[in-house]
Structure 1
Amino acid sequence: MERYEWTVTNEQQSERIDKLLTNFDESWSRTQTQAWIKDNHVLVNNEKVKSNYKVNEGDVIRLEIPELEQLEVEAENIPLDIVYEDSDVIVVNKPRGMVVHPAPGHYSGTLVNALMYHCKDLSGINGVIRPGIVHRIDKDTSGLIMVAKNDQAHESLVEQLKAKTTKRLYKAVVHGVIPHQHGTIEAPIGRDKKDRQSMTVTEENSRDAVTHFTVLEVFDTFTYVQCELETGRTHQIRVHMKYIGYPLAGDPKYGPKKKTLDIDGQALHAAVLGFIHPRTGEEMVFEAPLPADMEELLHYLRTR
């Protein structure tokens, strides 16, 4: 068990305890620190506190990080659409329906299971459950994802994501006709109080989120758009497009309850991925064509 202790400085006073903890180590997310606080792994002056506690100068913060449950993740011979691979990184075109890494209810059939069969040298920064995983895309979102083969590459790619220098373009079909060609959605995203499995635009316990979009094609009651991520929050495009009144077609969580188009999951595809190679410094950009179900969807909308 890892143990830490800090004393709050004058500059840090009045900061929320959950947010303050994320500043001590950038790999700790707000969600993770809130879980530690809830489970009493964080004490302030030897007293239990809540996540919204605002610290005072001189407060002594003690954190004990519990041991992670050890789970064996098995390598599985699952076909992968590998767009690029070298000794440092792999770029994979993930199919719709595949979970990125093991989680409760999904301990097999994931991208990680497939990667562990394909190669034995994945970075260990995220531990046994998420080896090599630098970022994620949702189960029912298809498209490009980058994976690190060693810790140096992992750290470089994570820093690029934090610095907002990676290129991530998505193609999506949304409900409604967007009347303008371009737009930027700048709205913070956090956990939905009414549904803890969903995200929403909120000022409370949220993180800044920015999505830029461009209209590619307009149909009678739908719009085909390209979205560019400036940040990478959970469900960001899905939440932001719903927020401005144009939810993704087929989205079972954020779209209309009644299914309107024949597609299994949200019509969202990570089409372009760009980053600086962590070893060579070369600028690399990859593209993945639309999956067949989205091509069929667009053909239906153009000809119906």
Structure 2
Amino acid sequence: MKQVFTLSWTVDNSFEGVAVREFLKEHDISKASLTDIKFRGGAIEVNGKHATVRYILQKGDEIKVAFPPEKASESLLPRAIPLDIVYEDEYILVLNKQPNMPSIPSREHLTWSLSNAVLYYYEENNINSTVHLVNRLDRDTSGLLIVAKHRHVHYLFSKAQKEHEIKRVYRAFVHGKLVGKETIEAPIGRKESSIIEREVREDGQFAITHYTALRQYSSFTEVALSLETGRTHQIRVHMAYKGYPLLGDTLYGGTNHLISRQALHSYELTFFHPFLQKTLSFTAPLPPDMQKLQIVKESRFF
């Protein structure tokens, strides 16, 4: 039997005499969620009995919210693709995505995507949800990302992401020799001649990337990068704009004689878990094709 997603609280002094509606608002239950609970099979209980949002709370009351079940889109099909699960609890998955796999289905990959794999995992483990990707990675970018197991959890993590409370550090290999560190602040927009390619342009969206050189090789450099914004292809565009395109990134001026895809990996992920009330941090080692770049001769550390 599939489980229903629920949340529960014990009312303390600060919420005595407050209506359930205000209590839930203060606990980040959105109006949309309340509408779903009311009309799509959810429930609100106080001390084990049904209650409306107008119920006035007393200290010690036990509130329980049962959210309505979620149903995946009929166009999203489950597929038995192995997942590299770095962390899991009842609220989220942290996954290490393999390279050469899109995050969501496309016309070219209707059933070969991370979302197809997650849906299959949910069905096999009786997780009553659809797929909520908190962040996505390009098809050829590997590494860490967060999947929320419920719409409300997705809402909280998306809110944290907009407020820059989810920190990601990437590793990349770029053409050329870099030293030190730099911040790139340059707006990014769609290139007029392409539906895929982006470029730095005055009318683009505000974008900031920080990079630090880690190790220099004969013709390329390993770098660590962090983002203050999350524009499409941001790292790839910014590094190409500075004259240091990613190895393997033929779309933005890189060459693929050392690696067949852009050499970009979501290496470290840190965030505050709103339900566990603590900060979690994870790292994922470089995949084999990027590890091979680290053994190229004529390198030196900084």
2:105 to 89, 102, 106: 102
- Please identify runs of 4+ aligned residues in structure 1 that moved more than 6 A: none
Contact 2:173 2:222 in 1 (8 A): yes
The CA distance in 2 between the partners of 1:212 and 1:174, in whole Å, is 14
Over the matched positions of the two proteins, sequence identity in percent amounts to: 44
Note if contact 1:123-1:154 (Cα within 8 Å) is conserved in structure 2.
Answer: no
TM-score if structure 1 supplies the norm length? Answer: 0.71
- TM-score normalised by length of structure 2: 0.71
| Structure 1: distance between partners of 2:172 and 2:142 | 11
- 1:278, 1:255 → 2: CA distance? 41
Distance in 2, Cα, partners of 1:301 & 1:249: 16
**Where do residues 10-159 of structure 1 align in structure 2 (5 Å cutoff)?**
71-120=74-123, 121=127, 131-159=131-159
Given that residues 122 and 148 in structure 1 are in contact (C-alpha distance below 8 angstroms), is that contact kept between their aligned partners in structure 2? no
- Which segments of 5 or more consecutive residues in structure 2 lack a partner in the other structure? 1-72
Q: Is the 8 A contact 2:80 2:120 kept in 1?
A: yes
AA matched with 1:109: W
Q: Output the amino acid matched with 1:273.
A: L
Q: State the alpha-carbon separation in 2 of the partners of residues 281 and 74 from structure 1.
A: 34
Deviation at 1:79, TM superposition (A): 0.5
CA distance in 2, matches of 1:194, 1:301: 39
Q: Which residue of 2 aligns with 1:30?
A: none
Tell me what 1:66 maps to: none
Report the Cα offset of residue 75 of structure 1: 0.8
SS for the counterpart of 2:257 is: coil
Deviation at 1:123, TM superposition (A): 5.5
Separation (CA, whole Å) in 2 of partners of 1:143 and 1:191: 25
> Does 1:288 find its partner at 2:284?
yes
Within 5 A, what are the aligned runs for 1:179-194? 180-194=179-193
Task: Give the CA deviation at 1:278.
Answer: 2.7
Return the alpha-carbon distance in structure 2 between the equivalents of residues 99 and 301 of structure 1. Answer: 32
Q: 1:194 to 1:93 in 2, by over 3 A?
A: same
CA distance in 1, matches of 2:260, 2:108: 19
3-state SS, counterpart of residue 195 of structure 1? coil
- Return the letter of the residue paired with 2:182: G
Cα distance change on mapping 1:133 and 1:123 into 2, 3 Å: farther
Give the whole-Å Cα distance in 1 for the aligned partners of 2:188 and 2:297: 31
- Provide the C-alpha distance between the structure 1 equivalents of 2:128 and 2:246, rounded to a whole number of angstroms: 34
Q: Please name the residue that 1:21 is paired with.
A: none
1:164 counterpart = 2:160: no
Give the CA RMSD over aligned residues.
1.8
Aligned residues: 225
Could you say which residue in structure 2 is the equivalent of 1:267? 263
Amino acid at match of 1:278: P
Q: Relative to structure 1, is the Cα distance of residues 137 and 122 closer, same or farther in structure 2, using a 3 angstrom cutoff?
A: farther
Residue type of the partner of 2:174?
A: V
Q: Which has the larger radius of gyration?
A: 2
Cα pair 2:217 2:296 within 8 Å, conserved? no
Opposite residue 209 of structure 2, the aligned amino acid is T
Deviation at 1:160, TM superposition (A): 1.2
SS at match of 2:282: strand
